[in-house]
Amino acid sequence: MRLCRFDDDRLGVVMGDEVRDVTPVVERLPARRWPFPKGDPLIEALDDLRPAIEAEAKRAPMRPLAQVKLLSPVANPSKIVAAPVNYRRHLEEARADAQIHFQKQVAEIQQIGLFLKATSALVGPSEGVALRYLDRRNDHEVELALVIGKRADRVPAADWARYVAGYAIGLDMTIRGPEERSLRKSVDSYCVVGPWLVTSDEIADPTQLTLSIAVNGEPRQKANTRDLVLGLGTLVELASSFYTLLPGDIILTGTPEGVGPVRPGDVMNAAIDGIGAMRVEVRAA
Ligand code: MN
C-alpha cells in the first residue's frame, strides 16, 4: 500500500496516477488531549487500520495525483535519525573535498555513529526546500528513509524488518560548514520525506534498491543500497541501542557519492526503485 498525506492533512492511498481520499478512517484514531504522547498515532495504528483503509479506498473519491499537494507521509515522528557517510565512495569524496569536510577529519560511521535532525525540519515534496545562508554551500543528499512501525528498544540487527512500517525517499538537505551536523541539517524544510510511504510488504528486498537524484535534469547521485557501509539491520540495532524508536520515527540511511549544491530556482527530482519519484522545488527562505 502507498499511503500519502496531502492537501490540508488528508490521508490518501496512491493507486497509479490517482489518490483515493481515505481521510474518514482517521476518525478511528483515539481522540487525544495535552500532553500528547510522543510518536505518530497513525503509523502506530497502521496494521489495525489497514483493512478499513483498503475498504475505504475502494469507494473513496479519486483525485489526480498531479493535482494534490504532497506532505510528509509521517506527520509526527518523535525522532529523525540519520546516518553520516554511510557509503564508502561518499566518505572518499568528503575527505577529498574541502568544501564538504571544512578542515575537520571525516571519520567513519563506525566511529561517529548517528546524528539527529530536528523534527521541525520535516516537509513533504510539494512544500519545497527554503534555503538559508545563501552565501554558503547548500547540498542535496538523497537517501532511503525507513519509517519505524513499532516501538523498538535494543533490537538485534537480524530482527530489524519486523520494526519497519515502510519506506520513502528522503532528502537530507545540508548547509556545509564547520558546525555540528545536527545544526547544519536541521534548518526548516531541510528534511524532505515522500512522496508517500510504501508499506514494507511491497518492497521485496530493500537492500537492493537503486536511488538517484537529478537537479534541473542533470544526474547528480546514483547508487544502490547494497553499497551501504552499515546495512539497514545494523542501523536499526545501533539506533535502538541508544534510544527507543517509536512508531513514525524516521531513519535516513545515508547518502552516496555525488552530493552537490542547489540554488534558489533549482528543481530536484529524486527516485528510488519500488517507491517512486518526487519533484522538489528549491527557493530562498
Ligand atoms: Mn545524509
- Number of residues in the chain: 285
In the chain, the number of structural domains is: 2
Domain boundary among 53, 71, 89: 71
- If asked whether residues 170 and 94 sit together in one domain, one would say yes
Residue 223 to residue 225: CA distance in whole angstroms: 7
- If asked whether residues 170 and 212 sit together in one domain, one would say yes
- If asked whether residues 152 and 193 sit together in one domain, one would say yes
Residue 47: the pLDDT is: 97
CA of 212 to the centre of ligand 1 (A): 14
Q: Tell me the longest C-alpha to C-alpha distance in the chain.
A: 58
| CATH number where 39 lies | 2.30.30.370
Please indicate, yes or no, whether the overall pTM of this predicted structure exceeds 0.95.
yes
CA of 203 to the centre of ligand 1 (A): 22
- Indicate the residue type of 160: W
**Cα angle at 65 between 59 and 67, to 5 degrees?**
110
CA of 117 to the centre of ligand 1 (A): 10
Residue 102: the pLDDT is: 85
Residue 34 to residue 134: CA distance in whole angstroms: 39
| CATH number where 266 lies | 3.90.850.10
- Indicate the residue type of 136: R
Mention every residue, 6+ apart, whose C-beta is less than 8 A from residue 91: 85, 106, 108, 229
- If asked whether residues 53 and 145 sit together in one domain, one would say no
Domain boundary among 12, 47, 71: 71
Residue 170: the pLDDT is: 98
Residue 117 to residue 183: CA distance in whole angstroms: 8
CA of 58 to the centre of ligand 1 (A): 38
Residue 228, pLDDT > 90, answer yes
Q: Which residue has the higher pLDDT, 43 or 106?
A: 43
CA of 209 to the centre of ligand 1 (A): 17
Residue 231 to residue 253: CA distance in whole angstroms: 8
Cβ neighbourhood burial of 143 (10 Å; 0-12, 13-18, 19+):
buried
Nearest partner of 42 among 172, 222, 166, judged by Cα: 166
Structural domain boundaries enclosing 59 = 2-71
* Mean pLDDT within 55-61: 96
> Buried b / exposed e across 101-138, counting CB within 10 Å, b at 16+?
eeeeebeebeeeebbebbbebbbbbbbbbbbeeeeebb
Residue 116 to residue 199: CA distance in whole angstroms: 24
Three-class secondary structure of residue 188 per DSSP: coil
- If asked whether residues 254 and 275 sit together in one domain, one would say yes
* Mean pLDDT within 228-248: 98
- If asked whether residues 114 and 62 sit together in one domain, one would say no
Domain boundary among 46, 71, 96: 71
* Mean pLDDT within 51-80: 97
- If asked whether residues 61 and 161 sit together in one domain, one would say no
- If asked whether residues 150 and 27 sit together in one domain, one would say no
- If asked whether residues 16 and 138 sit together in one domain, one would say no
- If asked whether residues 42 and 152 sit together in one domain, one would say no
CA end-to-end span of the chain, whole Å?
Answer: 34
Summarize pLDDT for 103-117 with one digit per residue, the tens.
788 889 999 999 999
- If asked whether residues 251 and 119 sit together in one domain, one would say yes
- If asked whether residues 110 and 232 sit together in one domain, one would say yes
| Average pLDDT over the chain, rounded to an integer | 97
